[in-house]
Amino acid sequence: MKVTLKDITKRFPGKDKKSGPVTAVDDFDFEIPSGQLVGLLGPSGCGKSTTLMMICGLEKPTEGRIFFDDEDVTDVPPEERGVGLVFQNYALYPHMTVEQNIMFPLGNLKGADKLSKEEMKKKALEAARLVQIEDLLQRRPRELSGGQQQRVAIARALVKMPRVLLMDEPLSNLDARLRLQTRVEIRRIQRETGITTVFVTHDQEEAMSISDTIVVMNKGVVQQIGRPQEVYDDPHNLFVATFLGTPPINVFDGSLRGGKVYIGEDAVYDIDSLDPETEKETSGSGAKADGNSGVKKGPGRLADEAGDIPVSVAIRPEGFYLDPEGPLHCSLLGVEVMGRDVTVISKHPAFRGESIRTIVDAENRPGDVQREVRFRIRPGKIFVFDKETGERLYGRK
């Protein structure tokens, strides 16, 4: 099932009359290819859950249309859309057994679709098998672990064989170990059933590891759409760059001067060895994030400009390597040993946060008495963003 969102906007009435409506989702335009697992990713309040609820049919978009394949489902109520929904808190009915929970959606079928008790039991068992909880059917939800409860919730969502499976933060109530396990499990189930799945999360690692495509959202606006690796390697703006990756990307106040990228007084990179944004094709499927409407972009324009151009320079933690002759001078604060590699913690006057975190090989760790470290930057790991708009000016080559 292909799901198409066509210029979806959702506005909620404001808390009081003066403040006016709040835009939760702004002009979302996207096509989810059939059988894919798409991760909607963003900080809380970015509109990802609202988007999910609109696909589900529990919320109606203020503007725009939603299509399942070629069928316009915008005005179709949820139960007729053929969707399954899995909640963060599982939403299992506490007074029913696992089996009754899974069968509950089947009990609502009417007319020709109505099932006999045996058929319902059979379907419930099939769904339970799929998520491997067939031994738990007679238990009640509170007798199950969080991971098991989540599987029941998934089985309940799958029992009607929905055309689209929607998951709202399905892993965030689980502890770290279970989360990893269940992540793999969801991926497996999705592959086995081939159901188009939309997955909402605020955890970038989760989204990147599980999804075929991720959609990064912020403040109701889609920032970037693409394969996880693509988005990580090629962030379109500062928000996307900072939101993806652990430890987070290091952001500096920098400037462009005489063909060089400066961080403070350190000239760390040649502009020529970076790709200017204008020549780039926007990846993903019609995201708004291209936004390069000819403003402040292109090397030609920058070259003509006299004096400094203030920018934001972002460098991935793995984009540094220690070099006694390196251009970036940082004062060393400490070294955290992780085993395979070490995290070097240092400071630079132009750095935006508290301390710079860089990951280097264990063999190359700086000495204990060292006061200063010098870094060279790896290609493809440094991005230059517009200081005001956050749009990317230069990036990987």
Interface with another protein by CB under 8 A: which residues? 56-58, 60, 77-80, 83-85, 87-91, 93-96, 104-105, 108-109, 156, 160
How are the residues of the chain apportioned to helix, strand and coil, as percentages rounded to the nearest 5? 30, 35, 35
Query: What are the DSSP calls for 65-120, one per residue?
Result: EEEETTEE-TTS-HHHHTEEEE-TTTT--TTS-HHHHHHGGGGG--GGG---HHHH
CB of 141 to another protein, least distance (A): 11
CB of 39 to another protein, least distance (A): 20
CB of 56 to another protein, least distance (A): 6
The Cα–Cα gap between 330 and 310 comes to: 20
Is 77 or 353 the residue whose CB approaches another protein more closely? Answer: 77
Which of helix, strand or coil describes residue 163? Answer: coil
Q: How far apart are the first and last CA of the chain?
A: 37
In a 10 Å sphere around its CB, with 0-12 CB exposed, 13-18 middle and 19+ buried, how is residue 339 labelled? exposed
Inter-residue contact 168 to 154 (CB < 8 Å) = no
The Cα–Cα gap between 374 and 331 comes to: 9
Is 119 or 270 the residue whose CB approaches another protein more closely? Answer: 119
Is 174 or 302 the residue whose CB approaches another protein more closely? Answer: 174
DSSP assignment letter at 284: S
Is 96 or 322 the residue whose CB approaches another protein more closely? Answer: 96
Is 168 or 386 the residue whose CB approaches another protein more closely? Answer: 168
Is 103 or 256 the residue whose CB approaches another protein more closely? Answer: 103
What is the CA angle 153-154-155, rounded to 5?
A: 90
Is 86 or 359 the residue whose CB approaches another protein more closely? Answer: 86
CB of 58 to another protein, least distance (A): 6
Strands 341-347 and 328-337, by their bridges, are antiparallel
CB of 175 to another protein, least distance (A): 20
CB of 88 to another protein, least distance (A): 7
Identity of the residue numbered 80? E
Strands 260-263 and 266-270, by their bridges, are antiparallel
Give the HSE-up count for residue 289: Cα atoms under 13 Å, Cβ half-sphere: 32
Is 71 or 388 the residue whose CB approaches another protein more closely? Answer: 71
CB of 95 to another protein, least distance (A): 4
CB of 178 to another protein, least distance (A): 19
CB of 27 to another protein, least distance (A): 23
Is 59 or 206 the residue whose CB approaches another protein more closely? Answer: 59
Helical ranges in 234-316 per DSSP H: 238-243, 299-304
Residue labelled with tokens 């238990």: 139
